[in-house]
Chains A and B, each alone.
Chain A
């Protein structure tokens, strides 16, 4: 659990650096690497972790596909929400909302894991 927290924090730090501070190659390539992960993988992956526990009948390919699909779904819904706010969709609002959502879902997945573990130990 601590490891996952560590990974997520590192990922966010790298993504923030690459999105806001890299304007030219070679650092720009980091942006091309991290930004798609933030949009199309991470939120869905964390949501899948909340919905399905590790020992559930879901193979890695299914997890991967669901992560992609659900990330797409969440991104669209966030975009829709932002579209109706006065500030609208720009880099700052999009990044902050996506990051916030990912953090919330990650914390949710950690809590779900913890709850499952404590249930199993009982």
Chain B
């Protein structure tokens, strides 16, 4: 009887989640530009969207945690895909002028291939030809333009990645655990997916991981290893950094696990007689403790300014609710784009999420390593996660791009967490209660993240890290500059945004007109100023084009010098990437 009720609720929820999806797709608002409002996404999304998110989550939860629900792989994964569509893909489809982040640079590469039949020599396309070649082939054989191809690929990357993660998790946790793993992955993936080489290589990375895990855990066969190698070659040509990390993240634990297992198998009896395994735990634990202390200390030291910033912003946002519009006054008159209020929030979010995932993942990795008594799966998974830590440390000390190690660690982390939630049942009463509480907390936290994902997403990109010079330039333009300014911005290695004030299709047409050797300096005389910036925010600004600033700044200046009648002069220089030229 109870099962029947649950089954009917489940069917009802699933039906409605699909229904809301169809209704939303048919009636979705088409937007010209984003407003400078921290709650923009929350305000513009219709109620059907939120109902769709809630029903698909409910349906997924029933499917995971209740017995007696008709369950099959294809059904479970379809609900999971629906949730991915709600949280990652749908918000991007609503804009008339899609802002593609890195896509502009890649569209240029694809366009070059379509025109010249070869990848642009000396370009990034030549260094990482995977995405360019695949997009070009799709564009040529389907007979569609490269802009549409970039849309298609961007929307399909999350689904294929999720599918491979689901299949990999299935090897460890079973079908229900794999569904939970997908849910965790969606919740913890605040970075979103964009059309760039990193996102594209994620598909190949997840495929390689799956093939390797499959050959290691399920069917150890030569043909499977050959397939893995084939995937790895494609990954190498798609993104060398990803493949290097995959090599470290997967092949290293693979080799380590194999050698560790063989050593343990040889010495197990001997170790047991000496009782050495228990004794070995102590140095392990103390090392971990020291490592954790150093790591926590570093994070507090590094994260303090962001934490302070985030606290101030939170207070500002709260005070806005109670009548004093602090943020509104801060961004008044600025064109569509990310508000400065988002800087600290996004940074803290990324920092906090990284710390959380590393802490939980580390605890689980060690737990499985010891608790499962060197089981094959636990060794593989734990070492997979542990091998992502050196990259974290490197990034903390040497680079500011925390999102890369975060993404690499997210795959084993999601599997570890779902495995723990689904399969760990202690025997002692007290441990039982504690475990139950921890599991409920973790699941609730994941759900909260999934729900917050579309709320905190702003102008369809979930993650942005505006640099301080860009913010200062924006601030200067907003306060002191009048007239129309042409803004050049962007960088091919990181995601950026531009504000497009024109709701027309001009933006898309511009790509085709500018493909002649990055010729970006037409009719400068019609503007009152030119701003070169990493990310662009401006009042009354019309964005002309996108291209890596470092490439065109010297040429731009040369052109300005050659034509003194234009009357431009460097007015405001923040750094080598953020410069403002105004007419004197």
Contacts and interface: CB of A to CB of B under 8 A. Distances in A.
Given A59-B73, A79-B129, A35 B234 contact: no
Given A76-B130, A89-B140, A91-B140, 4 more contacts: A73-B231, A79-B137, A80-B133, A87-B117
Contact of A90 (B117, B204, B234): B117
Q: How large is the interface on B (under 10, 10 to 19, 20 to 34, 35 or more residues)?
A: 35 or more
Contacts of A76: 129-130, 133-134, 234, 237-238
A88 B118 contact: yes
A49 B135 CA distance: 26
Interface residues of A, number: 40
29 contacts: A19-B143, A32-B142, A32-B144, A35-B138, A39-B137, A61-B77, A65-B163, A65-B164, A68-B163, A70-B207, A70-B230, A72-B207, A73-B231, A73-B234, A75-B133, A75-B137, A76-B134, A77-B234, A77-B237, A79-B136, A80-B129, A80-B133, A83-B118, A88-B118, A89-B118, A89-B133, A91-B140, A94-B141, A95-B141
Interface in A60-102: 60-62, 65, 68-70, 72-80, 83, 87-91, 94-95, 98
A51 B73 contact: no
Contact of B74 (A35, A61, A68, A74): A61
Interface in B111-159: 113, 116-119, 129-130, 133-134, 136-138, 140-144
B371 interface: no
Interface string A37-56: 01110000001001100001
A79 B140 contact: no
A56 B219 contact: yes
A96 B72 CA distance: 39
Interface of A: 19, 28, 31-32, 35-36, 38-40, 47, 50-51, 56-57, 59-62, 65, 68-70, 72-80, 83, 87-91, 94-95, 98
B216 to A, nearest CB: 14
A82 to B, nearest CB: 8
Given A83-B119, A88-B117, A98-B141, A73 B230 contact: yes
B203 interface: yes
Contact of A61 (B119, B130, B167): B167
A116 to B, nearest CB: 13
Contact of A35 (B143, B203, B233): B143
Nearest to A84: B118
B526 interface: no
Contacts of B140: 89-91, 94
